[in-house]
A = this chain, B = another copy of it.
Amino acid sequence: MSKRQVIKEKPIIKGKQVTSRGEEDYIKAIYKLSDEAEGERVTNHQLAVYFAHTAQTVNEMVRKLEKKEMLVYQPYKGSVLTTLGMEEAVRLIRAHRIWETFLTDKLGYAWEEVHEEAEMLEHLTSTKLADKLYAFLGAPEVCPHGNYIPALSDLKRDDLDTCGRLKLSKAKKGKQYCLKSVVDDKALLVYLNSLNIYIDLCFKIIERDLVSDIVTLTYDGRNTPLSGAVAQKLFVCEVYDAEDNA
């Protein structure tokens, strides 16, 4: 009733979020972890390790997301995303990969530089913006790391990272392969740069030492040994049109 109320005149619009940044990060993490691990449920412990959060914090976040019906949580068992949660995760992953593609293809970023930027931008990307960007990019199939850019309706997680592809660590000696995707890990990407390894590079496996756990590839006329740890993060397709360059 006082004149001071006049201050309330202009209610500037602000981003009204249904899910906050933190919540979105949890949804994405659950989506990813439920794929990496064999089981479907993601335990609170896994999330605690992933985010370096305490058990209590994880518990609170999971309970909050449960109330919002983004996931179903069973104490001592873990969480499974609901369809709503999956949709949210796919929306974020789609935006993430679209931004990564934009940053490399249009702005000339290196593939190891795009993750952090995309990680921020994805959270403010409306469906409209994502779709327009995607069209502008020419509807690319994959991001700079070779992972599929899912459509919003595309909730099948298996397709996203590895469908039709083989871990290099499971490839066979003597055969030829083409690199199709890599895990989005900065140190790995920088390392691959130093070896001149990139998406769509074709090579032959000339050695696979199970004791030392080293795979040796041939490309560019030279031999390159890769540790099992690295080989596990590279996904390849077999190539049949033989043509040696050793």
- Which residues from 118 to 148 on chain A have a C-beta closer than 8 Å to any C-beta of chain B? 120-121, 124, 126, 129, 132-133, 136
**A229 near B: Cβ within 8 Å?**
no
Number of copies: 2
B124 touches A109 (CB 8 A): no
Q: How far is the CA of A109 from the CA of B109 in the complex (A)?
A: 24
Residues of B within 8 A of A120 (CB): 15, 124
B117 touches A52 (CB 8 A): no
Looking at chain A's contact residues, the main secondary structure is: helix
A13 touches B116 (CB 8 A): yes
Distance in angstroms from A33 CB to nearest chain B CB is 12
Interface size counted on chain A using CB atoms at 8 A: 31
A7 touches B121 (CB 8 A): no
Residues of B within 8 A of A11 (CB): 52
List 24 A-B pairs, Cβ < 8 Å: A7-B45, A7-B48, A7-B52, A7-B54, A9-B49, A10-B50, A11-B52, A12-B50, A12-B51, A13-B116, A15-B116, A15-B120, A103-B129, A106-B136, A107-B136, A108-B132, A109-B132, A117-B124, A117-B126, A117-B129, A120-B124, A121-B121, A121-B124, A124-B124
